[in-house]
Every structure is written in structure tokens, then in C-alpha cells.
Chain A
Amino acid sequence: MYKYDSYDQAMVDARVEEFRDQAQRRLDGKLTEDQFKPLRLMNGLYLQLHAYMLRVAIPYGTLNSRQMIALGDIADKYDRGYGHFTTRQNLQYNWIKLEDAADILADLSKVEMHAIQTSGNCIRNISSDHFAGAAHDELIDPRPYAELLRQWSSFHPEFTYLPRKFKIAVIAADTDRAAMRLHDIGIQIVRNDAGEIGASFYVGGGMGRTPMIAPQIRDFVPLDQLVTYAEACLRVYNRYGRRDNKYKARIKILVHEMGAEEYTRQVEEEFAHLLEQGVEPPLAELERIKPFFADPAFEDGPKSVDRSDPDFALWVDRNTVRHKHDSYVSAVISLKPVGGIPGDATGDQMRLMAKLAKQYSFDELRVMHTQNIVLPHVRIADLHALWTELEAADLGAPNLDTIEDIIACPGLDYCALANARSITVAQRISENFAKKNRTEELGQLKLKISGCINACGHHHAGHIGILGVDKKGTENYQLSLGGSEAEDVSLAKITGPGFDEDGVVGAVETVTDVYLEQREEGERFLDTYRRIGMTPFKEALYG
């Protein structure tokens, strides 16, 4: 994986010192809270309901064991012994003291990590495919391109005070594991008819209160113009994105109101101009970055496991994913134990995952946008030993992509914006299906819960989505069906009137009953919904 050189390290160190200085000026009264707020946000520091929250960037979701150990140690030293992995492949600490923030940033910089641009109206951490470099179906590893964009977007002088936050995802497979088209810019690395590698740009996707799927605005940008094209996309947005209403300030609204065609025309004009300005980094830089992501030394070995232990066999079937080398798999560590808090891990669990990564996965881990952890390169021969250690640490839940593998935002338990709790609903649903032993029968079923309209829990993209709202002072939950964040991207539709907490747990069960009655051979919940439509589900819910 990528290693900082002295330049990268100096940039992060300079930022830590800058933040120390800013915090001091805030304490000295030279900065008002209004002036300090965007500065602390650009260093990942939010004020939540009960305490400060610090969000640490994990570029394209890739980290090594030393970094994971540092994250666990920070959880123990400065927080309450745990951290929360997020839907943008980052990590949040929910109980931070302002006076510790600069020290935490200094601890992070010792392991080449930071919290830069994890919030604020700037270009956020670049996300990517969590199986990058391991997936059997990818064209090429997308992370070198994500790293190139990480450097370009860090401390960008022109794009630090954008109309609103800006999220970029980079993938390089037709299978979309990063919700690419639900980002402000989604980039797919592709090969054109001439056999050259380039980038396909999708602009103006997003979730939030007005979900949109990004249209493609350019099918092929040559690799030596990638940064220039991104710069053109951002400049048009910075100049014309709405600033009169924060709810209409994301680029998706600009692209929608202006029209994708007109937006594209303006980007192309800006792009032609910027090509003359020489803003593109030398192509040699991409060549420098690539070897950091070279394959580790894979070795041939056994290609199957001993299935005599049914619990182990179930975990292998559920939580391991085909690898490009047939003696290896990518193994998913579920952070969704039945009744647990989705995405939470304790300091001890983080250190254990780090140890296992070192032992079994060439020292590499990935954070999934579904709030689980991946060991990307595990020898099939090592799976049983790995699973045994995971089971002992309550990390062996065999539920990847099942109804227990719920995405949930922190909700009203932590977040100042939330209208309703998300975590308790997630806990009750997973407990309900586990108790009735129906998880496996339901197969792939992506359930996503947001505690407010901002949609951090991706409910628009859930096969089943739940949105918590405030209805006359009580928590109320709207149910929606038919969303997908994958290559078959779609936005979920609301079923009808909302439910209280008990009601929504029952409603989820009701819609799964409809699916089980109506499904045809090989259909997932989403496929059945798409074939039969909303009506049968509505009748069962409200009929």
C-alpha cells in the first residue's frame, strides 16, 4: 500500500501544527466560534449531541496493521474504548475532548494518518472498491488513481470553500462496490476500444434529502488529463453551485437544474482552457504510485476447505469472496454481531484485526462502506485458523450482505442532526431475524437505516430502506423498497405511511414474507420487488 515520502509527511505535520495554532487562537479569543467552526471541521472535528466527534480519514479504505493498532490505541486512550467505522470507509470517535484533538492528530500523523478534510465544504476523503487489488473482476487496481486524486484534493487552494461538501469515489470494475454513482463525482477506470486505460466520469449523484443518480458526462478521459478534468468539474461547481440554500448546494442540484448537457458543455470548455494551463501532475507520478499497490507474493496452495464444521462452512460461504488468485479469498470480518451496533469495534478488536491482517493478509485491511472490515488476501489454507480467532472475539458473524448486515447511521444516540434513533432499530431487526433463524433463507438483502433526511445510512439505496423522522415529537419510521447502490443502481420508493419503532420492525418482517411467498428461483429480494412492483408489498403492509 501507499507509503508517505518526506513531502507527504511534511504536509500532514504542517497541518497538525496549523490546527494547534488555530485551537490556541480560538482559546485566546482571536477566533470566534463561527470562524473556528469551518477550520475544526476541515480537521474532522464535529460538535455532536454529547461531545466532540473526530472523524479519521482512511484513504480509499486501505490501512495496514500498524495503523489499525494506532486506531485501537486512540480509542482506548482518548475515547471510551471503541470507534465507529463509517459508510465512507472512515472511522469516527464519538467521545472526544477538544483539548485532546491536536494530540490525537499528532498520534495519527506518526502512522501516516490524519483527519484532514473529513468534514467541511471541501473535497472529502476519496473512497474506492474495498476489494481493490484483490477482486477477480477488476480491470486494474483503482487505488493509484485514488491516491493521485488524494494528493490533488488535499489543501486545494481553490476548492476549500465550496458551496457544500464534495465526495469522490473511484472504481475499476463493472461491479460497483463503492456506490460510485451516488457520489458527487464517480469515476470508473475503463479501457477504450483502442485498448488504452482512462477514466469515465459520472457527476451529480448523491443521497441526502434529494437523492440522485449521477449521469455520465464523459465516457473516456485519458489518464494524463485525469486531474485536469476533475479540476474543470470542480471549478464549474465552485462558480455556479447554489449558495443561497444549503439544502440545494450540492453539485447534484446544479447538474439537475442546469441540465447534464449544459453542465457538461461548461466543463468541457473549462477543461479545454485548463489543458493549456498545465495543472496536470507529471504522468511519472502515477508510475511512481503504482508499485505501492503491486500484488503481494501470492503462492499456490489448497483451493478448498474442510467443510466438516458446519459453522465454519457457513462463514466461508457467507463471508469470503472470490479472489483473483485461486488459492486466496478476501475474507470479510463482520462488525454486525446480532444485536450489536453496526460498524462499532472496540480497541481490543481493532488490535486483533491488525494482528490477523499481519498474520494472514499481507499486513493489509480494508474498510467497507457497509461498515465491515476486509482482509483482502487470505490463503484458503488459513481460513479455519482465521475464523477460529474471529469467533473467539465475537467477530465471526456469518452475515455479509444479509438482513443482519445493516448499515445504520449513528442516529439520535449521537448525532445532533438526527430525528430518530437508528441503532436500536438495527439491533431489533437483526435480533428478530436471527431469533427466527430466517437470515440465511432470505439471502442477499441490503437493509439501510438513516436517522434523518440527510441519509448518512444510505436508506435510499437499500433493498429495504428505513428513514427515521420526527412526527409531532415522536420517532416515526418510513419504509422504502427497491433501492440499490451497486451497478444496478436505483433509488428506493416509500411504501406509504410510516410506523412507530415496533411497527417498523414488524413491517420489515411483513415485506420479507411477501418476498418469500412470491420469489422465483434465484431471485433476490430486490429482483422480486422489481418484477412484481410495489403493490403486493403495500397490500400486505396496509391492506
Chain B
Amino acid sequence: MATDLGTSPDEVQFRFREDEVADHGTVTVDACCDQTNATAVRIEPGDDARVLLPFLDRLALVEVNFPSFGDGRGYSAARILREAGYTGELRAVGDVLIDQLSHMRRCGFDAFAPDKPLDEDDAKRAFAQWDNVYQSAADGRRTIQELRHE
């Protein structure tokens, strides 16, 4: 199988998980559906994240690739997986930039492996960009509307 696909733990620049970094070769979505022992998969923008739902229990790592930061399909893929109860590592890889970090985090990404390492201070500020939020998303934060009426 294609072990050269995907990122290695060394390339993960930011991680918001306590567990051991998953170090598995990722496979394509198609291969993941065929291989009953695959535990790591990589979603490309055109893939349907929902085909993975029957296998979520055995997955420890899902990489979502952003070949271009302007292609926002990966945000929906991430939320779909979290909404289906996926609790493993969800890693944003590829053209991951400072100004997308806060939204990615809200959509359920908990690990980031940008093509080009990001400035740590800029990233720290970006993750803390929003004190409050207007929408319910995959991060479980209470929304402004909920806070107004509690």
C-alpha cells in the first residue's frame, strides 16, 4: 500500500490532542473502503467524507488535504466526520495558512500540518481570534445566541 501518502508526525506543527500522535501511512478514501485494516485515511477535496462513516471506529487519523486554501470543501468534510461521532485525529494538511486556522479549528480539526511552517506567534493569535462565536459548529462552543439567553 502507498505508505508515502500523507504527512508524518514530524510535519504536524500544531496539535490539540493529548493522545499519542498517530503514525500510520494514510490511504486514499477508495483504498480505505476496501482495506479492513486501514487506520488512517486522506480525504481529497473531491472525496465524499460520508463514505467513511461505516469505518469510523477503526480510524485513528483522518487527513483532509487543502491543495489550495481557497477550496473550502474540507471544512464540510471535517464537520461531517465530527457530527458522525468521529473522535480520532483530524489533521488539516496542505495549503494551510494563518487566516484559516480559527475556522478550521471550529470545524473540528485538531491537528495542523501546513506545507510551509507558520509563524508561531501569528498562529497563536489566529487560534484565539474569536472570543465568542455566532454559529454552532464542531468545537462545541456555546454561541453568542445561547449566551444571551442562558
Contact = CB atoms under 8 A, between A and B. Distances in A.
Given A21-B125, A278-B136, A158 B75 contact: yes
Contacts of A279: 135-137
Interface stretch (A235-243, A306-314, A342-350): A235-243
B121 to A, nearest CB: 11
A152 B134 contact: yes
A7 B143 CA distance: 10
A160 B103 contact: yes
Nearest to A282: B149
Interface stretch (B7-15, B17-25, B65-73): B65-73
A256 B97 CA distance: 34
Interface in A23-69: 25, 30, 35, 38-39
Contact of A11 (B73, B134, B149): B134
B129 interface: yes
Contacts of B132: 7, 10-11
Contacts of B129: 14, 18
- Max chain B Cβ within 10 angstroms of own Cβ: one of A25, A154, A157: A157
Interface string B80-112: 000100000000000001111011101100000
A238 B148 contact: no
B106 A161 contact: no
Contacts of A432: none
Nearest to B84: A273
A151 B76 contact: no
Given A35-B97, A158-B137, A14 B131 contact: yes
A245 to B, nearest CB: 14
A21 B135 CA distance: 24
A299 interface: no
Contacts of A25: 98, 122
A5 interface: yes
A160 B72 contact: yes
Nearest to A25: B122
Contacts of B69: 35, 38, 161
A288 B147 CA distance: 13
A38 B103 contact: no
Contacts of B99: 22, 35, 39
A155 B76 CA distance: 15
B83 to A, nearest CB: 5
A315 B106 CA distance: 53
B149 A284 contact: yes
A238 B149 contact: no
A258 B13 CA distance: 40
Contacts of B107: 157-158
Contacts of A503: none
A288 B149 contact: yes
A267 B112 CA distance: 30
Contacts of B134: 11, 151-152, 154-156
Given A158-B75, A281-B136, 18 more contacts: A7-B132, A8-B144, A11-B132, A21-B125, A22-B99, A39-B99, A155-B103, A155-B130, A156-B135, A157-B75, A158-B107, A158-B137, A161-B75, A238-B72, A238-B75, A239-B76, A243-B73, A285-B148
9 contacts: A11-B144, A14-B131, A18-B129, A39-B99, A155-B135, A162-B72, A239-B76, A284-B149, A288-B148
Q: Which 8 A-B pairs have the closest CB atoms?
A: A161-B72, A157-B106, A281-B145, A157-B103, A285-B145, A284-B149, A279-B136, A7-B144
Interface of B: 45, 48, 69-73, 75-76, 79, 83, 97-100, 102-104, 106-107, 119, 122, 125, 129-137, 143-149
